[in-house]
Amino acid sequence: MGTRKFVMFGSTGLLLAGILLAPTWQAQGELVRGHELYKTHCASCHGEDGKGVQGVKAATLNNEGFLKVASDDYLLKSIRLGRPSLATNAMPHFDTQKLPDEKVNLIIKNMRSWHPEISAPVETGEKVAGDPVKGEAFYKTACAACHGQKGEGGIGAALLDPGYLNSASDEFILQSIIMGRPGTNMPPYPDSPDIRNVVAFLRSKQVPYDPAEKKEEGKAKSKDTGAADGDKKQ
């Protein structure tokens, strides 16, 4: 009888332990899957540890300043839209067929695990008011040396890339400038009318962007070119 009670209590203890540990096991499993997905789709440009790849022009994702201002929504939109304007090493877009939301969320969890002490920011939807004309003038003085005279990128990111502008909120752009990127060439800038004017300038350059439409336009142009070449041969 005593042995039977011991077995019952022991089994109950193991069951309770399993129930208590299940969320931890699930979280660990998600991190493993997220890391594998990240390695497959992101690491070749951003580095397996998110710190970049020498010679490849891609964002350093494992940066405290970046993770403090990048919401999960921004990361999702960036993956969906890509960065099409870069002449080389352009970031492709990943639609829901290539990467369902579930897998994108696992990739984001992997990125968050680099700095678990940093919580994902929650954006309020605040719009930044400013003068885009003054912002352009200040941009050329303070930002163009790294980000390009036309926002095409250089040492820093391509800020007028349609994928970037359609992913980044006003809050993200403002806080990125205010906080800078520790360990990089981008210093922090105190919040000021000049900085808000820069945000307004960048926002004024945003145009609607849909990678699927661009893909269809590319196919149509390719067909037209092929048809024209065929006519010439005749």
pLDDT along the chain (234 residues), means of 10: 50 54 66 96 95 89 97 97 80 95 97 97 95 98 95 92 97 97 94 98 96 64 51 54
**CA dist list (Å): 86 to 57, 147, 154, 164:** 9, 12, 10, 11
What is d(CA 85, CA 4) in angstroms, rounded to the nearest whole number?
A: 71
What is d(CA 139, CA 206) in angstroms, rounded to the nearest whole number?
A: 16
pLDDT of 50 reads 96
pLDDT of 11 reads 57
For the four alpha carbons of 78, 207, 69 and 56, in that order, the dihedral sign comes to: positive
**CA dist list (Å): 55 to 44, 58, 66, 71, 144:** 11, 9, 21, 27, 21
pLDDT of 229 reads 56
Helix axes 193-204, 132-142, angle to 10 degrees: 100
Read off the DSSP letter of residue 8: H
pLDDT of 212 reads 85
Read off the DSSP letter of residue 89: S
Encoded amino acid at 130, one letter: G
Extract the tokens encoding 210.
């849909």
Dmax over Cα atoms in the chain, in whole Å?
97
Extract the tokens encoding 65.
């300043």
Extract the tokens encoding 212.
């699927």
Mention every residue, 6+ apart, whose C-beta is less than 8 A from residue 95: 80, 211, 212
- State pTM to two decimals: 0.81
Mention every residue, 6+ apart, whose C-beta is less than 8 A from residue 162: 81, 84, 85, 206, 207, 209
